[in-house]
Amino acid sequence: MVRVLILGAAGMIGRRLADRLAREGMPGRGPISALLLADVVRPVGPPGLEAEVRAVDIASAQAVKDLIAWRPDVIFHLAAIVSGAAEENFTLGYDINVKATWSLLEALRLAGHSARLVFSSSVAVFGAPVPEIVPDDFHLTPRSSYGAQKAICELLVSDYSRKGFVDGVSLRLPTIVVRPGAPNAAASGFLSGILREPLRGVAANLPVDPLSEVWIASPGVAVKSLLHAAALPPQATDGGRVINGRGLSVSVADMIAALRAIAGGAVADLITHTPDPRIAAIVGSWPKAFACDQARSLGFTVDTGIDAILRAHIADTAGERTGDA
Amino acid sequence: MVRVLILGAAGMIGRRLADRLAREGMPGRGPISALLLADVVRPVGPPGLEAEVRAVDIASAQAVKDLIAWRPDVIFHLAAIVSGAAEENFTLGYDINVKATWSLLEALRLAGHSARLVFSSSVAVFGAPVPEIVPDDFHLTPRSSYGAQKAICELLVSDYSRKGFVDGVSLRLPTIVVRPGAPNAAASGFLSGILREPLRGVAANLPVDPLSEVWIASPGVAVKSLLHAAALPPQATDGGRVINGRGLSVSVADMIAALRAIAGGAVADLITHTPDPRIAAIVGSWPKAFACDQARSLGFTVDTGIDAILRAHIADTAGERTGDA
């Protein structure tokens, strides 16, 4: 029996994570005894499990303390100001991406409650120039405020864990593709947009060179990875508490070719191509492939290919598209 | 003409830096038009230059703002809770080593005053296991709160610099040997103590294996390195704003042998050897040698050897020792 808190539960990954917890419980930790979902907008509980939902601004240290007073055994911290928005709004990015995470760690320390924390980090902690395949121990040179903020939190999570104030793991997720729903302010948003929007008959712009290679994972693999990180045995983190999550390295052209093959030329032709140097600079600074030796040895799973990712997205959204018709 | 602020000006390096600025001005920036010395205890101005001195607790963001209102062109930020103390007092370490540095960056950003900032960082940002010779791009795995705090500040200094809010350089100084004056709470304090104390006829304890190798620089080279960092031209930081400062790799046994050769066996025999596992663990996690390719190419200087370091210390303290007699 395990008490689970999801911070950022109204986001796409948070919702899918809650759904999966409701269906299958926590791998290796048994059924969910209580689920607390928090986000800046009130989250919706998953079908099949009674969940407590709270609209919380984690910029408030007191609000974060109140969440910890609920005594979660496992915390998934997914709440963040995404990359594009953090670059535009410097103060907001630091307030939410660093100060609120730090408040969370402080609340755990002061409560004497060393919960398992899975912190959702990002490959944006790395910056150009990077090797073709980035090793697990590559140095951090973020070229965006978002990347710097995630790197700072990784250091905090590791140090608070070393001191025994929390039992934390930072998981650097690849860019999530295909992200359903409305576009968000992430600089990587177009990577989902160029697949999602044409599939529902809407044009989408590609702001970067089609030969750009990117490091992606499906929403399903991202959720599985978070759950796997939460269930890691204590000795798994002896080699370090920051894990490069597994992903696929694909070119944007490959993604468009898969869309053309699966959904047809008329759909793929809905993609326009107006370059955006700001987006291209941010995305171009991100690494294209990772070795992920640690994640492999710890048993993290990976997508089989862009075709499978695209077919899974189409299956996931079939209900929605039928509803639209 | 240049306005210089030294934060942590009452410390050993801060005092030597102020003395040198008074004697020689700022390399590449001309004479000092104004010098502001700040520390938690009131610093003493150097001979030969009128300096403003302030006792300031940088835990207060307002106090830090007031320092920036003085409009320094160059800031040396040397103020810190040292490694042993930061490990003992978790909150104090984060308050001074992270929050106060962040206050300084925020004060510069809010004042629209992008001064040159030299941030004194540390090789404690690295942790075991490290290679025999650590390359410039080695990854950060601090094994102490002090190391984590310094790494976090490096990320902040680089990101604020990237955004143009400050023109910062983080310089990772080796352990300073021989540090004159009273022992401080740094875990590395014994490295100075085993030379300094016997030289004035006082016993000193060696808490680690004599075969331990350490990475050191003299106070003179540390000060020269800080001044060199302050004078770096803009393009020098294109390759990154974090620099591994140059040092010497020596064993503790070599240090004791140099003491024996220069000061005699009776002096060296004042060293006792009671192991301290806590100190040994911290010091043992620090790297023993660095490649320093970037620092070499940027023209940073280095000590010629432990003998020269020891002789310079004896010359520096000759007056003090005569005074004692």
Tens digit of each residue's pLDDT (9 = 90 or more) over A32-61: 999 999 999 999 999 999 999 999 999 999
* B277: CB partners within 8 A, 6+ apart: none
Structure tokens at A263: 């959904």
pLDDT over threshold 80, residue B305: yes
Residue B319 is predicted with a pLDDT of 66
pLDDT over threshold 80, residue B68: yes
pLDDT over threshold 70, residue B324: no
Residue A322 is predicted with a pLDDT of 42
Query: CA distances (Å), A158 to each of A126, B143, B149, B181, B296, in order?
Result: 18, 9, 11, 35, 32
List, for residues B74-118, the tens digit of each pLDDT value: 999 999 998 889 999 999 999 999 999 999 999 999 999 999 999
Residue with tokens 């094994």: B143
The torsion angle over the Cα atoms of residues B128, B84, B9 and B168, rounded to 10 degrees, is 30
For B87, the closest chain A residue by CA position comes to: A163
Q: What is the SS3 assignment for A283?
A: helix
Query: CA distances (Å), B307 to each of A30, A140, A266, B319, in order?
Result: 64, 37, 78, 20
Structure tokens at A158: 């590791």
Shortest distance, CA A126 to any CA of chain B (angstroms) = 11
Structure tokens at A233: 């045995």
**pLDDT in single tens digits along all 325 residues of chain A:** 899 999 999 999 999 999 999 999 998 888 899 999 999 999 999 999 999 999 999 999 999 999 999 999 999 999 999 888 999 999 999 999 999 999 999 999 999 999 999 999 998 899 868 899 999 999 998 989 999 999 999 999 999 999 999 999 999 999 999 998 877 777 789 999 999 999 999 999 999 999 999 999 999 999 999 999 999 998 898 878 999 999 999 999 999 999 999 999 999 999 999 999 988 987 887 889 999 999 999 999 999 999 999 999 999 988 664 433 3
* B253: CB partners within 8 A, 6+ apart: B210, B211
Shortest distance, CA B142 to any CA of chain A (angstroms) = 8
- Which of A126, A146, A160, A190 is catalytic? The answer is A146
Structure tokens at A148: 């710097």
Q: Is the minimum CB–CB distance between A139 and chain B shorter than 8 Å?
A: yes
CB count, 10 Å around CB of B105? 23
* B201: CB partners within 8 A, 6+ apart: B267, B270
**ipTM, 2 dp:** 0.93
One-letter identity of residue B14: G
- Please answer yes or no on whether B148 and A155 come within 8 Å at the CB atom: yes
DSSP classification of residue B138: P
Query: CA distances (Å), A236 to each of A162, A241, A257, A293, in order?
Result: 14, 9, 39, 13
Shortest distance, CA B35 to any CA of chain A (angstroms) = 31
- Please answer yes or no on whether B139 and A143 come within 8 Å at the CB atom: no
Q: Domain map of chain A by residue range?
A: 2-175+218-244, 189-214+248-290+304-324
Of A90, A141, A155, which is closest to B152 when you measure between CB atoms? A155
The torsion angle over the Cα atoms of residues A184, A185, A189 and A195, rounded to 10 degrees, is 40
Shortest distance, CA A268 to any CA of chain B (angstroms) = 38
For A110, the closest chain B residue by CA position comes to: B91
d(CA A199, CA A266): 10
Q: Which helix (H) or strand (E) holds B192?
A: helix B189-199
Burial (CB count within 10 angstroms: exposed 0-12, middle 13-18, buried 19+), residue A30 = exposed
Q: Is the minimum CB–CB distance between A158 and chain B shorter than 8 Å?
A: yes
Q: Residue B100 in contact with residue B150, Cβ under 8 Å?
A: no
d(CA A162, CA B77): 27
d(CA B34, CA A58): 43
Q: Which helix (H) or strand (E) holds A171?
A: strand A167-173
d(CA B223, CA A314): 63
DSSP classification of residue B96: I
One-letter identity of residue A240: G
Instruction: Count the residues in chain A.
Output: 325
- Please answer yes or no on whether B148 and A158 come within 8 Å at the CB atom: yes
Give the bridge partners for B272, in sequence order.
Answer: B205
Q: B-contacting residues of A 83-122, CB under 8 Å? A: 90, 109
Which chain B residues are within 8 Å of A137, Cβ to Cβ? 139
Q: Could you report how far apart the first and last alpha carbons of chain B are, in Å?
A: 43
3-state helix, strand and coil shares in percent for chain A, rounded to the nearest 5: 45, 20, 40
- b/e B289-302 (16+ beta carbons within 10 angstroms → b): bbebebbeebebeb
At residue A272, φ and ψ (nearest 5 deg) are -95, 170
Q: Is the minimum CB–CB distance between A271 and chain B shorter than 8 Å?
A: no
Which chain A residues are within 8 Å of B137, Cβ to Cβ? 139
Q: Residue A203 in contact with residue A197, Cβ under 8 Å?
A: yes
Residue A320 is predicted with a pLDDT of 60
- Which among A173, A145, A126 has a CA at the least distance from the CA of A13? A173
Burial (CB count within 10 angstroms: exposed 0-12, middle 13-18, buried 19+), residue B103 = buried
For A165, the closest chain B residue by CA position comes to: B90
Of B145, B152, B159, which is closest to A145 when you measure between CB atoms? B159
d(CA B173, CA B12): 14
Structure tokens at B246: 């140059």
pLDDT over threshold 50, residue B322: no
Q: Is the minimum CB–CB distance between A140 and chain B shorter than 8 Å?
A: yes
CB count, 10 Å around CB of B52? 13
Of A140, A148, A156, which is closest to B140 when you measure between CB atoms? A140
d(CA A203, CA A270): 5
CATH (residue range A2-175+218-244): 3.40.50.720
Domain made up of A189-214+248-290+304-324: CATH architecture:
Alpha-Beta Complex (3.90)
CATH 3.40.50.720 fits B2-173+238-244, yes or no: yes
- Please answer yes or no on whether B138 and A140 come within 8 Å at the CB atom: no
- b/e B129-156 (16+ beta carbons within 10 angstroms → b): ebeeebebebbbbbbbbbbbbbbbbbbb
| Higher pLDDT, residue B316 or B152 | B152
Residue B323: band (very low, low, confident or very high) from pLDDT cuts 50, 70, 90 = very low
Average pLDDT, chain B: 93
Least confident stretch, A213-227, B217-231, B277-291: B277-291
d(CA A241, CA A249): 24
Residue B285 is predicted with a pLDDT of 77
Q: Residue B260 in contact with residue B268, Cβ under 8 Å?
A: yes
Q: Which helix (H) or strand (E) holds B238?
A: none
B160 carries an active-site annotation: no
3-state helix, strand and coil shares in percent for chain B, rounded to the nearest 5: 45, 20, 40
